[in-house]
Amino acid sequence: MGDPMPDNIQPMLATTGDLPDDVARWALEIKWDGVRALVYVADGRVRAVGRRGIDATSRYPELQALADLLPDQSAVIDGEVVAFDSEGRPSFERLQQRMHVNRPDARLIRQVPVHYVAFDLPYLSGHELYDLPYRDRRALLDELELSAGPIEAPPYLDGAEVEQVRELREYTREQGLEGLIAKRLDSPYRPGRRVDFWLKVKNFRTQEVVVGGWKAGKGRREGGVGSLLLGVYDGGDLRFVGHVGTGFTDVELDDLHKQLTFLERPDSPYVGRVPREHARFANWVDPSLTGEVEFSRWTRDGRLLHASWRGLRPEIPPEEVRRES
């Protein structure tokens, strides 16, 4: 009879770290800088679910190609929805044109096509694969031969290939890519957990953040958003970690202003004092918007230095946002 197909797997999450000393025991993949999606395929139907458990099937009709690739099998595939730029590099900026549109029209699909990069296989045709080592899950994924059209399943690099690991790391830096994901070859799949046997090895520093307020703009931005006030969760408490006023497009600023207006509240959502220069004239909001910033470093008092906005991350629940080491 086998194991019934699960219907609500939470993706396993990586911890930020450096390349491990025992890298020969690990697999290396490019960090794709897209939107995480678990895709359920069965009986000719495809359903895509993001990290917040929100159905994303209608947003990415390209994923329907998986039904044709797996006509006689049922599977749950873990991967990333990615948009590529004209140079073939993952572009989160391009993806934002698709990730908020529930039913994209043919014109938008042509202008901003997306690909699904598959990298794990928690379930296959009557078998839960959680306890199977990563190298074995990947072998089963490779046997499905999913690389066709908008679906990709690029191979991982075995960490024992030391010279190739060095070359891959250098390539990601030269191309301006976010970095690598290191996965221990013997690692199980633990749904919903952030584990230390998957590591995000970054080329530049990024941080998920929760928007807790905003300040009005001046000059060209007058009447709209000038900067966002940011926080991360420490246990159950939202702590202020700074602000960001650069990196926005005009379209993003208009969209943020509309969303923030509906979230306004009379008091600060942060636990603890917000410095006067940020609290003065602040518009406080319910902390329900998650985004991401690039920054240079953390200051001694726990603030993000030289933060630049990368975009909203609606697939990430605010309560999961923690300071990355």
Residues found in the chain: 325
> Would residue 31 show up in a list of annotated catalytic residues for this protein?
yes
Matching residue, tokens 């730029």: 85
CB 208 within 8 A of CB 321: yes
Tokens at residue 191, please? 């749904």
Dihedral (Cα; 303, 305, 306, 310), 10-degree rounding: -50
The angle formed by the CA atoms of residues 241, 244 and 248, to the nearest 5 degrees, is: 150
Q: From CA 50, how far away is CA 31, in angstroms rounded?
A: 17
Query: φ, ψ for residue 165 (rounded to 5)?
Result: -60, -45
Q: From CA 186, how far away is CA 35, in angstroms rounded?
A: 25
Tokens at residue 243, please? 């602000």
Tokens at residue 276, please? 């006067």
Q: What is the 3-state secondary structure (H, E, C) of 114-180?
A: CEEEEEEEEEECCEECCCCCHHHHHHHHHHCCCCECCEECCCCEECCCHHHHHHHHHHHHHCCCCEE
Q: Please tell me which residue in 31, 183, 202, 215 is annotated as part of the active site.
A: 31
SS3 255: helix
DSSP characters over 228-245: EEEEEEETTEEEEEEEE-
Query: φ, ψ for residue 177 (rounded to 5)?
Result: -80, 160
143 burial (CB, 10 Å; 0-12 / 13-18 / 19+) is exposed
SS3 279: helix
Residues belonging to the active site: 31
